[in-house]
Structures are given as structure tokens and as C-alpha cells.
Structure 1
Amino acid sequence: MPQNNKPGLHDITGALRLLTRLPLRPSARITPPQAAWAWPLAGAIVGALAALVAMAAQPLGAGIAAALVLGIQAMMTGALHEDGLADTADGLWGGWDKARRLLIMKDSHIGTYGVMALLVVGLVRWSALAGLIGAEQFWVIVVVGAMSRAPMALLMAALPNARGSGLSQTVGQVPRAAAGIGVLIATGFALTLGAAGLVGLFGIVVAVSGLAMMARAKIGGQTGDILGASQQLAEATALCLIAAHLT
């Protein structure tokens, strides 16, 4: 039977199957690249569940609640994005040419650059989350969850696949229209925070643009690891800037 490519609720469940480990009914249907518009909504759902954890854990202290938020997000996504961040840092800085960088990124072992990237970005996320939770700004977790997933679709639409294999290649080339809808959804979430949300959105543009230029120069495009790194950098940047405005 022909595949239904019209946007719908099936795209949201497909996005959740692709980007999370949430217990959804298995599907033999491959998530099409045009469903990437729903990735910010999947991120908002992950953020909403994490925000509930933050609200429940707040009496334990903002720092502990922030740590639990990071833990539950990693559990819900299978640490997919954190793994991408670590592999990206190892590959882009640990290799001398494209072939070596891609080989390092494919290696399941983590190196010094990867450890440092996880540590620094994780500390930034934790610090910002602790401030936001202490100020009872739980909605920000939902908003940033949505905002930080839109860049993945943009990178897939704008850059070629550098490896020719892997998760990014399996999903396929994301249509610019789908990526654009995802950006509009992410912007809508950002606007609910007013000026703070727009500042966070601007920070995401700067951070992810820098990553995109570096990936293009060093490996010739994007991979699934680059996409994961973009989510982590986007989340850390947005949380930091928004927290600075709201707390």
C-alpha cells in the first residue's frame, strides 16, 4: 500500500519512536523524513515528563531535582543525544582527516574530548536547570525540549550525509518544508516565554550554526552524532540564556 505522507498524529508517534525509548506500540512502518516537523513536539513531550519529575522532586532541593531531570531525560531518550555529543567531540577534535574523524565517531568507546564535552555541557544544563527549578519555572523545560529538537531537522535538510550510513542516512533527506514547520513550532513554544524565549532561540541559532560550519569543514556534512550534538548544544544554550533572564 502507498505510504501516507500527509502530516498527522502518526508523525508524532513516529517521532517518539525514533527519538525516545518510551513504551509505544512497535510499528513496521519506517518513520519518513517528512515527519521531522514533529520532532519538536516529541521534545516537548519529553520535556513535559521531565518537568513533572522536577515538580515532584523540588522539595528535595533544586540541585537534586535538576540532576533527576537530566537522568530521566537520558533514560527517556536512551542517552541518544548525549552519545552523539561525545562522539562528535571525539571525532571532530581527535582525527586529522575526514576518514579518521568518521571512524572515531563510529567507535563505541569514548575518549577524553567526549568526556569533557559531556562534563561541560552537562554542568551547564544542570546549573541552568537548578536555577529554573528553584524559581519554579517548570514550563521552560517543556519549551526547551521542543526548541532543541528543531535544529536536527534543519541540519538534515541543509547538509548532506557525511557517512552514507547510520541513523541519519536511514531516516533520509528531510524536506525543507518539514524542517520549516518544525522551526515554526519551536518558535511558537519560544514565544510563550516572551523575550527570554526569543533570546534562547537566538542562542540556539548561533550555537548550531557554529556546529554546522565545523561539521561541514571537518567531515563534509552531518551524521547522527552531529544531530545529537546539536540537540545537546541547543538545550544547554537555551537553558542558560533563558535562566539568566527569568531567575
Structure 2
Amino acid sequence: MIKRQIHYFLTAVLFFTRIPCPKWVDHSGDILNKSSRYFSLVGILIGSIAALTFYSASFIFPPNISILLSMISSVWITGAFHEDGFADVCDGFGGGWTKEKILIIMKDSRLGTFGVIGLISILGLKYLSLSELNNNSVNIVIAIISGHSVSRTIATILLFTHEYVRDNDSSKVKPTTKQMSTKSLIISILFGIVPLFFFNNYYVLLVLVPLLLTYLYLGRFFKKWIGGQTGDCAGALQQVAEVIFYLSLLIVWKLF
């Protein structure tokens, strides 16, 4: 039982990061579906690496450079997995007007104008919001870890509630998560919100409201245009949710 859960977790690590895993770990469709329960835990792992990068760099560099190095470390450790999905969604929904056209554009490995503008905007917002959060190192460390975990929780909710609309044979990245059980969703949510309780201010939990609104809006948007979701849609939601989380923290800390 424990070995099986370790297999599921390492499968999620293998799929979403560059971190080396044992050769016996794979990401077949069935295993990957079951590993979805640990997506938020992988977010904690990635966020911890990014937070450690920031904290270590802050002993040498100013906060703004440390934040930028932290962002670079998270992009490197994930191979820009979610950023790529966000860019594909920007290109697909920006340049396509039918379901078929949108899916074709998202499948294209080339980066278009909408994708470039989208990446510049999302990364710029992430950097500026983290810079404004930098009132002390402890808060920003917890914020980085929480941002990565809770944003992946929001993405897993989309995987649970929305039908996967691309056939495996036409998928750009194979395999991918197509089904998620209720048990896996609950486990993912629990892992995702745990870092929030390390903040001294429990009003921070209010950030869950705009995050859920973000999920509802983008979920409805994806449903309207393509009838469900793809891996790119989940990646895009993760990126948007992460930025919304940081912006919401700024509002909560200002009000409370």
C-alpha cells in the first residue's frame, strides 16, 4: 500500500519536474490518473525549491533579484511545463474561433504572438506581486510555497469537474490525466491548503474566494469554447491561479 502511494507520488514528480526518479517509475495513463492526488504535494516540493532559492539568494542579492532567481528556479525545475500550457492556451483561444481550430493551434509547438504577450504579462505580474509581498523573508517564503501548492489544487479541481476533450492519439503530450477520483481530489485539496496555515494571519484563507471564482470563470470559458479541458487548460489555470493568489494576498494584508 505504502509502496503504491510512493509510486503514485514519484510518478507525479516525474511527470511535472526534471527531478530524477527511479527507473521503475513510469507515467502510464492509469498510474498518472491515480497520481493526480499528489499534484498539490508536488507543488509544495516545487514551491519549496523556489522558496529555498529565494531565501539563499537573499543573503547575497537584493530582494528583487532573489525573487527573479526564485522564479527562474521554478521554471527550470518544471521544464516550463505549466508556462507552456498557458502560452498554448493564449495562442489557441486568441487565434481560434472554433473548437477544432483552437485545439489545432494549442497542439502546435510553435509560439505565437498571443502566447508571447501572455507569458510576458503573467511572468511580469508574478514578479511584481511577489516583489510587493516582500515585507519580510518568512512571509514571502510561505507565500511562494503556498502559491505553488494552492494553484495546483485549483487546477486539479478543473481536471475533476471538466471532461477531457482531446483524444489521446492527437495529444501533444502523452500520457495525460484524463480522469480523477473524488478521493484523489480531496487528498489534493488537503495538501494544497496546508501551507496556508503557516501564515500568522488566518484571514489569508480569504484568498480561496478569488481562486474559486477564477476556477469558475475559466472553467466556464473552456466549457463554452471547447466543451471541457485539456492539459494545456489545466496548466493555464495553474499559472493564472498562482498570480491571483499573490495579488489576493496583497489585498488581504492591506485590509487586515
TM-score by length of 2: 0.87
Which segment drifts farther, 36-45 or 203-212?
Answer: 203-212
CA distance in 2, matches of 1:94, 1:28: 38
User: How far apart in 1 are the matches of 2:32 and 2:70?
Assistant: 30
State the shift of 1:36 in Å.
1.1
What amino acid sits opposite 1:237 in the alignment?
I
> Which runs of 5 or more structure 1 residues have no equivalent in the other structure?
none
Contact 1:65 1:133 in 2 (8 A): no
1:190–1:198 contact (8 Å) kept in structure 2:
yes
- The separation in 2 between residues aligned to 1:156 and 1:117, in whole angstroms, is 22
Contact 1:20/1:78 (<8 A) preserved: yes
Moved more, 50-59 or 132-141: 132-141
Q: Which structure 2 residues correspond to residues 1-247 of structure 1 after superposition, within 5 A? A: 8-29=5-26, 30=28, 31-58=31-58, 59-136=60-137, 137=139, 138-165=141-168, 166=171, 167=173, 170-193=176-199, 194-246=201-253
Distance 2:93 2:227 in 1: 11
Task: Say if 1:168 and 1:224, in contact at 8 Å, map to a contact too.
Answer: no
Look up the SS of the partner of 1:171 in the other structure: coil
8 Å Cα contact 2:207-2:252 kept in structure 1? no
1:233 CA displacement? 0.6
Name the TM-score, length of structure 1 as normaliser. 0.90
Task: Tell me which moved more, 111-120 or 211-220.
Answer: 111-120
- For the 8 Å contact 2:11–2:25, the answer to whether it is kept is no
Q: Distance in 1 between matches of 2:2 and 2:100?
A: 35
Q: Which runs of 5+ in 2 are unaligned?
A: none
One-letter amino acid of the structure 1 residue matched with residue 50 of structure 2: A
1:7 deviates by 6.7
Rounded Cα–Cα distance in structure 1 between residues aligned with 2:241 and 2:132: 18
- Percent of pairs identical after alignment? 28
- Cα drift, residue 75 of structure 1: 0.3
Q: Is the 8 A contact 2:86 2:235 kept in 1?
A: yes
Moved more, 5-14 or 199-208: 5-14
Q: 1:133 to 1:14 in 2, by over 3 A?
A: farther
Query: What's the offset of the Cα at 1:15?
Result: 1.4
Task: Give the Å deviation of 1:6.
Answer: 8.8
